[in-house]
A and B are shown apart, each in its own frame.
Chain A
Amino acid sequence: MTSIADHPPVAVRRPLFRRRSAIPGFGLTLGVTLAILSTVVLIPLFAVALKAGQQSPAEFLADAFSQRALAAYRLSFGAAFIAAAVNALFGLITAWALVRYEFPFKGLVNAIIDLPFALPTAVAGIALASLYAENGWVGALVKPLGWKIAYTPLGVVVALAFIGLPFVVRTVEPVLRDLSADVEEAAASLGANRLQTLTRVILPALMPAWLTGFALAFARGIGEYGSVIFIAGNMPYKSEIAPLLIIIELEEYKYAGAAAIAVTMLGASFLMLFVINLIQAWARRRG
């Protein structure tokens, strides 16, 4: 027997997949996770891509980018973008008030911000439609100004503003809370006035969270259906959103057409997911 002390340093064998962990249950839980994830999410998503792929490229393009589909994308993406921008502005203001100020019913306001997460979209849809219709409380108010909100693209923006509101508030709020007062005091002590402090110190620090909130609201708005269809008017080429077009194709048994539009929208969703991940990676790098 050789003396153990004389052993040369052992070449380290790298494990193929993972090192054994002291905490049990890894194989079982990961197996269950992957099995469910695959059957519920991944394989079905793959099915829609396959269905769209059964067509010739020309057919696919004709379905996915018909004039009517293009008008629908323009509305879905355009309205989602404007609504996300509206939310970015008012969401920031709301987050600012929630973090910095004391005011009556603050707890209630804080709780109600998440209403769009909790309220079924169809309920929001019919409520917004009757509120902003010409005979509704708000619709009647703006009618003398010549404005029409419900059953126009503007109505779509209103519905998406409802849906996206919590995203901006809830992403900006924690960052604003963590932004320590000394940073602002330091800026002030260096001679910055309040506006300079805001634009040069606070907003840059909030930027990643703000952009993330905007992107989340935008991504949610692109695919939103329930809250929109009641207020949109659903006129082809004018106020018809892309998800509705999928349903119409389905009702006409045009499965390939529905799949083509769905794949286009999925592509947009994945792109947004990628952008959001990029923003968050950027935010992490900035510490």
Chain B
Amino acid sequence: MTISIQSVAKSFGRFPALNGVSLEIADGELLALLGPSGSGKTTLLRAIAGLEFPESGQILFDGQDMTQVSAADRRVGFVFQQYALFRHMSVARNIAFGLEVRKGADRPSKAAIQARVEELLKLVELDGLGGRYPSQLSGGQRQRVALARALAVDPSVLLLDEPFGALDATVRKSLRKELRRIHDATGVTTIFVTHDQEEALELADRVAILNLGVIQQVGTPSEVHDAPANAFVCGFVGEANRLEGEVRGGRFRSGDIELASPGVADGAATAFIRPHELTRAAAGAGAFALTVERITPQGPVLHVEGRTADGRRLEAAFARAGGLGFQPGDQVQVAVERAHIFSA
């Protein structure tokens, strides 16, 4: 199902949570809503679910206006951050709930409901745990139950609020893959909220980045990472060194460092340089000295922290292969291979 969000605005008291947000989500897409806390991402997700109602704007499902339709009638699957499992119901009853509350001819037979529950338990790899109660499950298992419960109603869209937020790092990673697998298996349009850019980039087909109730950029993970639309996106997605400086005549200057900045207007500007875009170079034009302070191995790269001659801290990531040939205290020559420069 396609979802179209048109100029949606919503405030809590004086605080505007969504400030005219528009977004199109394609059928079968897996989209991440990424942003810092207070960016409005959860409010947007809840507005899609019908758990919040916008003050203006529209939300369309397959072209049909759902803005004022109650959550009960939207047939969405919502996975809550703290799972919100019904604590007094067994896992199986939790999963069956959405089918059992249907009225009249809509309600499947007992046998059909049971079959569906079994099928979903298998899908989320919890076979045989239907009789347990939520309090008897681990965090990761609860999250799977919440997912199965949301999927049981054959939702037109699956919405997940910080689905991995309450889990420890290892469980997070494996459940991420799980969500991708389940999404691919069911093909249901899926939107999830996260503040973790790594999670968004790894899992989603497209990422929508929000800040202060406004969408900053929507694009594929590589688009938002490699071609950030503005300074916020660049600083929020991926690691970057941040240099404040000035642009004059297509050149960005910040202390000793000078970079080409085609298309950026003259005036104060900020340059973002990703650690891996800072490379070792021979002394000469464009290169500058970095005094190494600390070296940390991180998988295939070595993470190097150092200071420029005028005392600014920079971080670089050098390939580990072949060794480095320097130690903390040494000076190395580096050059900026690529930078993202935005007018301030």
Tell me if chain B binds chain A.
Answer: yes
Beta-carbon contacts of B11-49 to A below 8 Å, as 1s and 0s? Answer: 100001001101000000000000000000000001001
A145 close to B (CB within 8 Å): no
| A12-B11 in contact given A22-B52, A22-B71 (Cβ < 8 Å) | yes
Given A9-B19, A12-B16, A12-B56; A24-B70 close (CB under 8 Å): yes
Partner of A9, one of B9, B49, B55: B9
Q: With CB as the reference atom, state the residue of chain B lying closest to A4.
A: B22
Question: What's the Cα separation between A10 and B16 when bound, in Å?
Answer: 11
Q: B57 at interface (Cβ–Cβ under 8 A)?
A: yes
Q: Chain B 48-84, CB within 8 Å of chain A: the 1/0 string?
A: 0111110111000000000000111000000000000
Distance of A7 Cα from B57 Cα, bound (Å): 11
Contact partners of A22 in chain B: CB under 8 A: 46, 49-53, 70-71
Which of A10, A13, A14, A24 has a CB less than 8 Å from the CB of B20? A10
Q: How large is the interface on B (under 10, 10 to 19, 20 to 34, 35 or more residues)?
A: 20 to 34
Which secondary structure characterizes the binding site on chain A? loop
What total count of A-B pairs have CB within 8 Å?
46
Complex CA–CA separation, A14 to B51 (angstroms): 18
User: Chain A interface residue count: which class?
Assistant: 10 to 19
Report if B214 contacts A (CB, 8 A): yes
Q: Is A57 positioned at the interface, with any CB of B under 8 Å from its CB?
A: no
Q: How far is the CA of A176 from the CA of B103 in the complex (A)?
A: 51
Interchain CB contact under 8 A, B7 and A13: no
Interface residues of A in 1-46 (CB under 8 A from B): 4-5, 7-15, 19-20, 22, 24
B221 to chain A, nearest CB (A): 21
Residues of B near A13 (CB, < 8 A) are 55-56
Interface centre among A4, A10, A14 (most CB of B within 10 A): A10
User: Complex Cα distance A79/B50, Å?
Assistant: 57
Q: Shortest CB–CB separation between residue B259 and chain A, in angstroms?
A: 31
Are B50 and A9 within 8 A (Cβ)? no
The answer to whether the Cβ of B343 comes within 8 Å of any Cβ in the partner chain is no
Interface of B toward A, CB cutoff 8 Å: 6-7, 9-11, 16, 19-20, 22, 46, 49-53, 55-57, 70-72, 214
Q: Which 5 A-B pairs have the closest CB atoms?
A: A22-B51, A9-B20, A20-B53, A10-B9, A10-B20
- Write 12 A-B pairs (CB below 8 A) sorted by A numbering: A7-B7, A8-B20, A9-B9, A9-B20, A10-B20, A10-B57, A12-B56, A20-B53, A22-B49, A22-B70, A24-B70, A24-B72
